[in-house]
Each structure stands twice: as structure tokens, then as C-alpha cells.
């Protein structure tokens, strides 16, 4: 008597698919945490607002490009926000975790809508630049009501917005180029 199950009766979403999904979530969450750890350790007094966007955006968007989930950036930014809430990393902005969560959600919405239209790399680059600008725009909206002094606009309003845009575009361009190389290599 043969007690082995037939191949067709075994569900394809049983243990292998669940383990792959859990691994992908852990990977995305970890990438967000690594991006914030690097942000906290690589602080150079260059007086360029948004300079960390180059590294953060490149890591998070590359992880999103490698993932097959439509909300992968939100998971990575949740990892970032979780680590930002931990004391001892030297972040003094109480709204930074909210900024990163809003940015992750906006990136997912933009990427999901844009991927229906065209999968071009310039869409990734432009979307990341515009999403990284969300940080100074949120600070600008919150600063009149915040009880904590926010020194983000000590050099004016346009300068932080333009530098965030430039570094977000640069991070998106790096990520788009890296994803293009990875896609070309996998063919």
C-alpha cells in the first residue's frame, strides 16, 4: 500500500511559500533598519539637508525593486520607523518616523500606479526624488504647530526642498541603474 500523496494534491502555498514570504518581509524590514543605522553612523557636517537620501533611497528602492510585493517600500520604511523610535541613535526630530512612513506609502502608491503605465527607469528616479521632498514639506507644514523647535529651515525654505529633491533623485537614479543591471544580468 502506497501512502505517499500525489503531487497534484499538495497545496503550493503550504510551507515553502509561507517561508518565502516571511523571509521577504524580514529582508525588507532589515533593509529599512540598516538604512537608518547607516544614516545614524554616517553623519558628516556638510550642512546639506537631505544628503542621507542618497543612501536611504538607494537602499530602500533597490529592495523594493527586488521584491515582488506592491507594498514593499512601506515594509522597509516601517523597519526604518521602528528603529527611529529607539533612543540612543542621535535623532532629535520627533516626526522623523512619521516622515518615513508617509514617504514609504507614497512611494508604493506612485510605483504601483506608474508601473501600470510604463516600467521605465526615469519613473523610479522621478518618483523617489519627489517622495524624498515629502520630508521638508511635512516639516514645513508641522513646524508652526510643533512645540519642539525645528531647525530644518535655518537656511531658508527653498534650499532644503531643492537639496532633498536633488539627493532623492540621485538615490533613485543609482537604484534604477542598479536594478537595470540586475535585470539585464538575470536575462
Q: At what angle do helices 72-84 and 96-117 cross, to 10 degrees?
A: 170
Residue scoring higher pLDDT (28 or 158): 28
DSSP structure class, residue 13: T
Rounded CA-CA distance 35/65 in Å is 16
Q: Domain span at residue 43?
A: 7-186
Buried b (16+ CB within 10 A) or exposed e, 83-122: bbeeeeeebebebbbebbbbbbbbbbbbbeebeeeeeebe
Neighbouring C-beta atoms of residue 153, cutoff 10 Å: 16
Confidence at residue 144, expressed as pLDDT on a 0 to 100 scale: 77
The alpha carbon of 184 is separated from its chain's Cα centroid by a whole number of angstroms, namely: 23
For residues 48-57, give the mean pLDDT: 87
99-155 pLDDT, tens per residue?
899 999 999 998 888 777 666 777 778 888 889 999 888 888 887 777 766 666 667
Percent of the chain with pLDDT over 90: 28
pLDDT band at residue 52 using 50, 70 and 90 as cut-offs: confident
Considering the domain boundaries, does residue 1 fall inside one? no
Confidence at residue 150, expressed as pLDDT on a 0 to 100 scale: 64
The CATH number assigned to the domain holding 112 equals 1.10.1760
pLDDT band at residue 5 using 50, 70 and 90 as cut-offs: low
Considering the domain boundaries, does residue 2 fall inside one? no
Cβ burial of 124 (10 Å; 0-12, 13-18, 19+) is buried
Q: How many separate domains does the chain show? A: 1
Neighbouring C-beta atoms of residue 17, cutoff 10 Å: 11
DSSP structure class, residue 150: -
For residues 30-40, give the mean pLDDT: 91
Confidence at residue 27, expressed as pLDDT on a 0 to 100 scale: 95
Q: Model's pTM, two decimal places?
A: 0.81
Amino acid at each position: 500500500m502506497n501512502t505517499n500523496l500525489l503531487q497534484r494534491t499538495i497545496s503550493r502555498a503550504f510551507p515553502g511559500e509561507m517561508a518565502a514570504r516571511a523571509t521577504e518581509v524580514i529582508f525588507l524590514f532589515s533593509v529599512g533598519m540598516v538604512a537608518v543605522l547607516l544614516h545614524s553612523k554616517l553623519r558628516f557636517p556638510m550642512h546639506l539637508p537631505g544628503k542621507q537620501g542618497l543612501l536611504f533611497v538607494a537602499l530602500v528602492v533597490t529592495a523594493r525593486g527586488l521584491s515582488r510585493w506592491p507594498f514593499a517600500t512601506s515594509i522597509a520604511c516601517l523597519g526604518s520607523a521602528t528603529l527611529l523610535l529607539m533612543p540612543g541613535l542621535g535623532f532629535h526630530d520627533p516626526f522623523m518616523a512619521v516622515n518615513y512612513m508617509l514617504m514609504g506609502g507614497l512611494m508604493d502608491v506612485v510605483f504601483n500606479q506608474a508601473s501600470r503605465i510604463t516600467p521605465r527607469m526615469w519613473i523610479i528616479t522621478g518618483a523617489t526624488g519627489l517622495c524624498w521632498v515629502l520630508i521638508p514639506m511635512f516639516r514645513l507644514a508641522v513646524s508652526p504647530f510643533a512645540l519642539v523647535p525645528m531647525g530644518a529651515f535655518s537656511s531658508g525654505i527653498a534650499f532644503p526642498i531643492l537639496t532633498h529633491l536633488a539627493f532623492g533623485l540621485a538615490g533613485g537614479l543609482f537604484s534604477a541603474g542598479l536594478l537595470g543591471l540586475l535585470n539585464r544580468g538575470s536575462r
